[in-house]
Amino acid sequence: MSDRKTLFGLRDAFLPMADNVWKNVKVLAVPYAYNVALNFAAAGAILTRTVALLQDSYFEMVMIMDNHPNPWSFLLKDGSSGREMMSDQTPNANMTGTGSLPFILPDSYIFRPTGNIVINSTNGATVGANAGTITFYGARLFIQN
């Protein structure tokens, strides 16, 4: 993956394909964000959402942002490969930043075209209704001929 440049200059992401897929391939990176509303009705409420990715490009996720006023937890899964991106549900503050600063992933993650991101989430046990949006920011990657 030595010739590939990422949108933010981060290290190359783990792509569930052979390393030589990106060698000598020109990639156009276009900034893009997927926004998902997660509106919990009660304490301990469980929500599962699936984000369908666009079909014409890979998606490189480089940061996660969230604007929920109260704590909640989540687990992300790459729906196209079945690979979970964390070992267990993780508190939102650990993965989404402070609300004023985003969480930049140590390594970006690349999703395949036509794939999806699955979010399994649980509202905090001591909070009531908790409405907000989680944003996956990164770039759509278009392979150039």
pTM of full prediction above 0.95: no
Q: Looking at residue 14, what DSSP letter applies?
A: B
| 43-55 core/surface letters (b: 16 or more CB in 10 A; e: else) | eebebeeebebee
Task: Flag whether pLDDT at 18 surpasses 50.
Answer: no
Residue with token string 């770039």: 139
Torsional class of 143: left (φ above 0), alpha (ψ -120 to 50), beta (otherwise): beta
The CATH label, of 3.90.79, 2.60.120, 2.50.20, 1.10.1060, for the domain at 19-144 is 2.60.120
Task: Flag whether pLDDT at 83 surpasses 80.
Answer: yes
pLDDT at 143: 87
Task: Flag whether pLDDT at 21 surpasses 80.
Answer: no
Greater pLDDT, 49 or 16: 49
Dig out the tokens for 54 from the structure.
């666009």
Task: Flag whether pLDDT at 44 surpasses 70.
Answer: yes
| Sequence ranges of the domains in the chain | 19-144
Helix ranges, the chain (H)? 92-96
pLDDT at 48: 97
pLDDT tens digits, residue range 105-117? 888 889 999 899 9
- Give the residue-averaged pLDDT of 130-140: 94
